[in-house]
Amino acid sequence: MTVEKRTSVVATALGAVLDKLCALTNHALFIILLGMGLVLGANIVLRFVFENPISWSNVVTRYAYIYIVLLGTAVSYIEGSHAQIEFVYDSVPRPIRSVFDLIHYLGMMLLCIILIVHGSKHVITMWPVHSPVVKTLSMGAVYLSVPISAVLMVIFLVKKIFELKFK
């Protein structure tokens, strides 16, 4: 089997894994957003109709929003729907674009690995700490959103590196 064929097989396998992870992440984002809307809606009704708001609603929705932002950022990056300036990129020949892509992917991968390593250390450190309002919610669970989104991006970046063509 040639090197090109092997890299194509790896990219295809990573693509399948990434597609499933993106679908799972999109479903999770939908459920988190739906839950957040329900909690906020119930809190509004309870506050203004019964004058008895839910004490933990702001805390839970704030932490849900953190997951929405970080997981949404990872999905947006994977789908290529993030903001980008392509003026210089579009004006150079294809082989130079591949070099730009490689530099971009390696730089992002380095950043994601830093987020995974330091984020995981922070998760471990913060796991015994609990929210003052919601005693059962570990702060480590909130901080876990950082390494999870970074892992998604690393898988995507590895796939993109295997797909690069310098010809």
pLDDT in tens, 43-95: 999 999 999 999 899 999 999 999 999 999 999 888 888 777 787 888 888 88
Say yes or no to pLDDT of 165 above 80.
no
- Predicted confidence at residue 166, as pLDDT, reads 67
Answer yes or no: are the C-beta atoms of 112 and 153 closer than 8 Å: yes
Helix boundaries (H) for the chain = 3-48, 57-79, 87-91, 94-126, 139-143, 145-163
Q: DSSP letter string over 9-56?
A: HHHHHHHHHHHHHHHHHHHHHHHHHHHHHHHHHHHHHHHHTSS---TT
- Predicted confidence at residue 19, as pLDDT, reads 87
- Short-list 135, 162, 157, CA closest to 18: 157
Q: How many structural domains does the chain have? A: 1
pLDDT in tens, 107-157: 999 999 999 999 999 999 999 999 888 899 999 999 999 999 999 999 989
* Domain that residue 7 falls in: 3-163
- Predicted confidence at residue 167, as pLDDT, reads 58
Determine what percent of the chain is predicted with pLDDT higher than 70. 98
Q: Grade residue 26 by pLDDT with cuts at 50, 70 and 90.
A: very high
- Predicted confidence at residue 71, as pLDDT, reads 94
Please, what sign has the CA dihedral across residues 58, 60, 62, 64?
negative
Backbone dihedral angles phi then psi of residue 68, each to the nearest 5 degrees: -60, -45
